[in-house]
Amino acid sequence: MSLADKVLAVNNDLPIRTDQPVHSGKVRSVYWLRAADSQRLIKEKGYPVAEDTPLAIMVISDRISAFECIWHGEGGMNGVPGKGAALNAISNHWFQLFREQGLADSHILDIPHPFVWIVQKARPVMIEAICRQYITGSMWRAYAKGEREFCGIQIADDLQKDQKLPELLITPSTKGIMQGIPGIPEVDDVNVTRSDLVNNFEAFRFNCKEDVDQYEKLLKEGFELISQALAELDQIFVDTKFEFGYVTDSQGQEKLIYMDEVGTPDSSRIWDGPSYREGKVIENSKEVFRQELLNHFPDPDILLNKDRMDERYALARDNALPEALLMKVSETYVGIAEKITGEKLTLSDNPKAEIIEILRNDYGLID
């Protein structure tokens, strides 16, 4: 069996019963279940949600995106071996820790297979909730050009690259294109201030102004918990992106919960502690892949300059990356997953066949 066969690249073609189009994102695909199947599973499995809650099957893939493009490798490798299983294992680990420590719930109700979540429908808040403990990446690039204000927060003049910030910085950006909000350009992924959120809470789909405080509280709690757990493994939680949404519980109450993935190498930067103390940054996150891409192509400006998106899409489409590069990224993902969970990550030879069998036999979702 070739490496390409072990990669789950296409995850939107499973024969799961649904009467809606499959939503396929950069990495995950979402299958909304029929109302009858949702209600049956809520009853059979005892999920703690209202009996008419819509459920979905969320299937991760091994695809890898960076600089807003999906990348592929030589020999038909349309993803990174082990990446999907690593991301889910890490998220599952943190969500379990959140539950044990009494933090907010997540949208995940069940994990039938390492690649699969059963989730409840949530109404997303329209922000990417970003939190930073160190100055690096895009923030450092802006700082080096002279910027000192980030999302309405002034920061000091004398910071060095990769230095720890005096306090945790919350730097949210828009999720999707927001229209008609004063001072906010109508493009995706724009930095916003706290007062933007408070003054336009309805546009960002918060239920009330006070929930801006609540999202910040959940963001800080989640960040602190993961940061402390990683510190015990001598790893540094540098920055991360959380997403939040509203769900209705079994008593009919709406509550704010964590959505999507948390604390993974895709959504966060994680640095090796011993190396950082020696003055070197060793990434245990997708930043490894971004740096490899910047080094791989002769004109890295294509990857950094949003005015050159057409060239960038062509670059990703027309260039198969070396197998060795994708395997280096695979080692990073699998390595950090095993470190965080304390367990060996077992990689399936045929994840798609396994998923179909489980969803047919144990959940009755495939005819």
Do 26 and 70 contact (CB within 8 A), yes or no? Answer: yes
| 298-353 pLDDT per residue, tens | 999 999 998 999 999 999 999 999 999 999 999 999 999 999 999 999 888 888 99
Q: Read off the tokens for 73.
A: 């490798």
For residue 310, the one-letter residue type is D
What confidence tens digit (pLDDT) does each residue in 7-64 have? 899 999 999 999 999 999 989 999 999 999 999 999 999 999 999 999 999 999 999 9
Bridge partner list, 236: 271
- Average the pLDDT over 169-176 and give the result: 92
Is 182 a residue whose pLDDT tops 90? no
DSSP 8-state code for residue 28: E
DSSP-derived pairing of the beta strands 69-73 and 320-321: parallel
> What's the pTM?
0.93
Q: Where are the alpha helices (DSSP H) in 126-238?
A: 137-144, 194-199, 210-232
Residue-wise pLDDT tens digits, 128-155: 999 999 999 889 999 999 999 999 999 9
The answer to whether the CB of 11 falls within 8 A of the CB of 28 is: yes
Rounded to whole angstroms, the Cα distance separating 135 from 164 reads 7
CA torsion through residues 16, 17, 20, 21, sign? positive
Angstrom distance (rounded) from CA 25 to CA 221: 28
CA distance linking residue 41 with residue 32, whole number of Å: 13
Residues 6+ apart with CB under 8 A from 207: 246, 254
What one-character DSSP code corresponds to residue 348? Answer: P
Q: Which has the closest alpha carbon to 238: 230, 248, 249?
A: 230
User: What's the full length of the chain, in residues?
Assistant: 367
| Residue entry with tokens 């395997």 | 327
Residues with Cβ < 8 Å from 5, sequence gap 6 or more?
349, 350
Q: How many CB atoms lie within 10 A of CB 44?
A: 10
- Domains in the chain, please, with CATH? 3-122+342-361 (3.30.200.20), 125-277 (3.30.470.20)
DSSP 30-67: EEEPPHHHHHHHHHHHT-SB-TT--EEEEEE-S-EEET
CA separation for the pair 18, 23 (Å, rounded): 11
pLDDT of 179? 86
pLDDT at 1: 58
pLDDT in tens, 249-291: 888 889 999 999 999 999 999 999 999 999 999 999 999 999 9
Helix (H, G, I), strand (E, B) or coil at 274: helix
SS3 category, 345: coil
Average pLDDT rounded to a whole number, residues 95-111: 95
